[in-house]
Amino acid sequence: MSSSSPDPVVHRSAAQLAALPAAERERFLIGLVQRRVDEVLRVIRPGAAEVVEPDRSFLSLGLDSLGTIALHGRLSADTGLALPVTVAFDHPTPADLARHLLALLY
């Protein structure tokens, strides 16, 4: 894919988010963060069955520093935002992180 082509993941997530009423955007982003955390956990802890609850800390879920870097990359790709690598430490739950993303996007 050339650098001038839009990223289909970013386009899809951004289009889905923009189409939602403002009141539903936070719920969409919480779900997005939960899915991405689940994906990262499945890679770094195969076989572990964790429920990614919105108010459960990333640390208690078992997301280590390498996992937070992977989460950062996925969420940066999803949103098109230049997020700091420390974003999961700065906003330590899926709900906190989703609200932060919402504030940055809107």
Task: Give pLDDT tens digits for 86-100.
Answer: 999 999 999 999 999
Which of 86, 83, 92 has its CA nearest to residue 55?
Answer: 92
Instruction: Give residue 10's pLDDT.
Output: 54
Question: Which ranges in the chain belong to alpha helices (H)?
Answer: 8-19, 22-44, 58-61, 65-79, 87-90, 94-105
Q: Provide the whole-model pTM.
A: 0.86
Helix (H, G, I), strand (E, B) or coil at 37: helix
In angstroms, rounded to a whole number, what is the distance separating the alpha carbons of residues 91 and 68?
11
Which of 78, 83, 95 has its CA nearest to residue 30?
Answer: 95
